[in-house]
Amino acid sequence: MMKNNLQRYPISVFWSDEDEAYIAIAPDLEGCSAGGATAVAALQELQVAMSLWLEAARQIGKPFPEPSLPKEVWPSTKRWQPCRIVGDKVYSSNRVSKMTQG
C-alpha cells in the first residue's frame, strides 16, 4: 500500500554544491528530502524518508496530500519524465541510463 502512494508523488533530484551531494526532494510532502553521494543513492534515501513521512502522517491522523502534477510543482520545466530506479539504473519510457555524479 505505502509503495503505491510513493510512486504517485513527483520528486526532484539535483546536485548541491553547498552540500557536495545529490539532494532529492518530494515537494508535496512538506520538509521531505534526502541526500546521497549519487543521484540514485539520494532517490533511495528519499523513498525511505517518504515512507516514514506518510507513516507518521497516518499515525497522527493527518490526511495524505494529493500528489501534484510535475508541471504544477515546476511550471518552468519543459521536460519531465516518469522513471523507475533499480540498483544504479534509471528506467524511463524511452531509455535506460546509469546515474552517477558528474
Tens of pLDDT, residue by residue over 10-42, are: 888 888 999 999 999 999 999 999 999 998 899
pLDDT of 73 higher than 80: no
Residue 88's H or E segment, with its range, is none
Instruction: Give the separation between CA 102 and CA 62, rounded to whole angstroms.
Output: 39
Grid coordinates of 23: 539532494
pTM of the model: 0.69
**CB distance 42 to 13 below 8 Å:** yes
Tell me the residue type at 36: G
2-98: CATH topology is Double Stranded RNA Binding Domain (3.30.160)
Q: What is the pLDDT of residue 17?
A: 92
pLDDT of 70 higher than 70: no
Q: What is the pLDDT of residue 99?
A: 44
Using pLDDT thresholds of 50, 70 and 90, give the confidence band for residue 1. Answer: very low
**CB distance 27 to 73 below 8 Å:** yes
Q: What is the pLDDT of residue 52?
A: 95
